Structure 1
Amino acid sequence: MKKIYNPNKSDWSSVLERPTQTVADIEETVETIFKEVQSNGNTTLKKYTEKFDGVSLDSIITSEQEIEEATSQVSQQLKDAIQLAKNNIEVFHKAQKTDKVEVETASGVQCWQEKRPIQKVGLYIPGGTAPLFSTILMLAVPATIAGCEELVLCSPPNNEGKINPAILYTANLCGVKKIFKVGGIQAIAAMTFGTESIPGVYKIFGPGNQYVTVAKQIATKYGISIDMPAGPSELLVLADDSANPAFVASDLLSQAEHGVDSQVILVSTSEKLINAVEKEVERQLDELPRKDIAKKAIENSKLILVENDAIAAELINEYGPEHYIICVENEEFFVSNVQNAGSVFIGNYTPESAGDYASGTNHTLPTNGYSKQYSGVNLDSFMKSMTFQKISERGIQEIGEAIEIMAEAEGLQAHKNAVTLRLKSLNN
């Protein structure tokens, strides 16, 4: 990891730079695949599944038999862990339900807001080197609580043409009925346009690599909403001498092992801690099965020494981390000064892994600095807020003249007439 000591504010943008490609680098590839899927549907999905996943499929639809086989392959111990996580995620997301907001803005003018579920949602679940079955819990559970009518799940097959058993088991546990063996750009395109097999949806959720991230952004050009720009995973740890260096190193490595394009950062006012964490990272890295992936991610990562807490807080808000661990004595200062972060983890015994799996919060979060303007996935992500109003005879008399004056000032005579006619009818 690269050590950086007391960087000047003018250098922060370069110090905090992420190892990601730009949309322009990938967009041409994405657009090509999108157009092919739009034109040729399943034929294109089959073509790119062979190219990228190395398998030729007779059908991209997951059968009941495949789900039954997958269920038998998942250990009872893992099933119990998934159920515990599901329960906690349900508890946290059910608590996010809100009542109708209703108010009389003027005498006889009743306005209210209600929420309605998005009818059709697409869930993208990464496979590959890390089959993220936990992401199904994070997406399907709140979608079900929200009342979404149709859930479409896409996940890439392995070279045997199968989806990871834990993914199929978890999807079935969460009530997802439409599961398709398609990954990458082509999966996002399929959910955008619909194909002979895969229904089109209104909103697409789920993390992925940089190609999936750009594909989701391109989908918005075709009228599809997305949860957020969620690409390679990242973590920033703030720690001082009160932190356990071994714990800090384990947290950094837990994100580094996600992928070679992940990034982890340690910010501290203690050079002693930075040196201790550096040694722990080296020691723990050698013990990881995915050390080759983690090692490359560590090359993108940094140890940053700053002079004081105020500078640390400002620097971290400038970065806007996806995951942010606070492990310092002056805990309250940093918690109250968080402006930009996807999810925050506080204290020595709150690893980021808890949020990834079983504490109950959602792990689908904004990356690449998007926490400055995006929220992580929550119950409202699967819903729309709709406003209603009902105006009585007295109500239109209360606000009618103001509407007429404003409409006329904007030169919109028909708008004015819609009120004038009503007021005249009441006067008569």
Structure 2
Amino acid sequence: MKALCWHGKQDIRCDTVPDPIIEHPRDAIIRTTSCAICGSDLHLYGGFVPGMEKGDVMGHEFMGEVVEVGAENKRLRVGDRVVVPFTIICGECDQCRRGNFSVCERTNRNKATADKMFGHTTAGLFGYTHLTGGYAGGQAEYVRVPYADVAPVKIPEGVSDESVLFLGDILPTGWQAAAACDIQPEDVVAIWGAGPVGQFAILSAKLMGAQRVIAIDRVAERLAMAESLGAIPLNFENVNIVEALNEQTNGKGPDKCIDAVGLEAHATASLDSVYDRIKQAVMLESDRPHVLREMIYVCRPAGIISVPGVYGGLVDKIPMGALMNKGLTVRTGQTHVNRWTDDLLQRILSGEIDPTFVITHRIGIEEGPEMYKTFRDKADGCVKAVIKF
């Protein structure tokens, strides 16, 4: 089968690799009908996250048709259409029973390595390094889905792939980011990053009743999309964000702040961003946390900081004094996808949410390697690319 495979920093290739097979009775094999390139994939493309090996199949946003089912999988049948969450969950451990699916205790095949890296293992993830199990990803014609009797979301007939594809990651990620903020009717919510997750965080914050939402980015197409959702756009290359946010809030700062950027903050004018790039270049720091610092500084005292953006390792110069003395609450984590999918699917089916607005590019898998570069560079107006099979 054809698959997009990692061969090193900025080296994604469309390879022919062996078809997956059933390895456990609870497995299923999915024939992919649609998948997407995620902003988190760019961290792998850029070589910022450890644990990748040459030939690893990329991708964790995918859906398709069930073509084979393990003997113990009584939930799925051949022919079912499913969206597969990026988190692999067992449904039985203590964390799964609590709904903390992204920290499932059983599905990371490399638990010992993750224990050393993070202190405790987190869930296995599709296509996202050997720190999270080394599972083949979904940017492929076929995918083996472990524990497939638990997480996959069945899709009714007559619903397009594009309407539901993002249930596997970025829609619930944006929703969880906003839900973590405990949004109140009078709240001003500031969101750093107007990529796909940021767009869904804006949409979610508006649906949850935020008084105002402010979107921070530098890409014109993304800011225009955010404005179409009702957000106030701020271009960080044209304004001082701290000053602008204080002006927007009568000097109080936003009540809730969301980091939809993660470890590759692209600020260029600030001293701390220059410091981060130098330390990252000499391998003394893995992540660039400019957005985290800015949020801590500008957030209203007793406010909430929500971090859906991916961080991979070590950050430096975090202002803990400000964080503690201002009484800020920080909520982070990979998305507990299955906590939100039932509700979000119903919102899609009812017409309340149409996730397709973020799609700007549709390609075949052979075009995938070039699209990684286009997406990274924010070229050609690219906000979200979907791969069709």
Q: Which has the larger radius of gyration?
A: 1
Between 1 and 2, higher relative CO (CA 8 Å, sep ≥ 6) is seen in: 1
Q: Does the TM-score normalized on the shorter chain lie above 0.5?
A: no
Q: Normalising to structure 2: TM-score of the pair?
A: 0.27
